[in-house]
């Protein structure tokens, strides 16, 4: 068994700062979505995926893959959103077996109204504090980390 490679003080500080920033951003974004649209980040994520889909909707398994969610989580989330009139479920026309999730007119209206407020909050809290060079540097860093996660653990998300 190899010796544990403990984090040094700088690495520990960086890792904890990353965790802290991630938690604070998640909390701030959740509050913004609740305040401006009475929706959760999970609701917003589903609406974004569906609004960016090439067709009229996505198979439930494609939606889950895009979000990195398991089938149960997708099912529960879609059921809640369907109950609020944001999405609709249908049968896949291609083979009649899969479930297709699509935006309703209410869901399209909701994402259309909240997306500008959401992106402004992203800018205020994250983008505007960075220079153009820092944006590029962070993007490159994130790309390397994503590739490393795929390489070591085989976990990927569609880009």
pLDDT beyond 70 at 96: no
DSSP state of 59: E
pLDDT by residue (tens digit) across 36-47?
999 999 999 999
Q: At what angle do helices 105-122 and 9-37 cross, to 10 degrees?
A: 140
pLDDT at 159: 66
pLDDT beyond 70 at 146: yes
pLDDT beyond 80 at 93: no
**What's the CA gap between 119 and 127, in Å, rounded?**
10
pLDDT at 2: 85
Token output for 78: 């879609």
SS3 sequence, 86-147?
Answer: CEEEEECCCCCCCEEEEECHHHHHHHHHHHHHHHHHHHHHHHCCCCHHHHHHHHHHHHHHHH
* Residue 37 · residue 31 · CB < 8 Å: no
pLDDT beyond 80 at 158: no
> Which of 2-16, 127-141, 145-159 has the lowest average pLDDT?
145-159
């Amino acid at each position: 068994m190899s010796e544990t490679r403990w984090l040094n003080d700088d690495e520990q500080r960086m890792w904890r700062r990353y965790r802290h920033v991630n938690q604070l951003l998640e909390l701030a974004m959740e509050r913004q979505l609740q305040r401006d649209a009475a929706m959760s980040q999970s609701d917003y994520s589903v609406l974004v995926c569906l609004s960016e889909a090439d067709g009229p909707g996505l198979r439930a398994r494609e939606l889950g893959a895009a979000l990195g969610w398991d089938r149960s989580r997708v099912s529960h989330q879609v059921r809640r959103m369907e109950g609020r009139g944001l999405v609709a479920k249908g049968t896949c026309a291609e083979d009649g077996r899969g479930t297709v999730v699509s935006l309703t007119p209410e869901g399209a209206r909701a994402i259309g109204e909240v997306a500008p407020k959401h992106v402004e909050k992203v800018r205020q809290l994250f983008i505007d504090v960075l220079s153009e060079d820092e944006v590029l540097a962070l993007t490159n860093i994130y790309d390397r980390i994503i590739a490393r996660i795929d390489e070591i653990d085989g976990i990927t998300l569609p880009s």
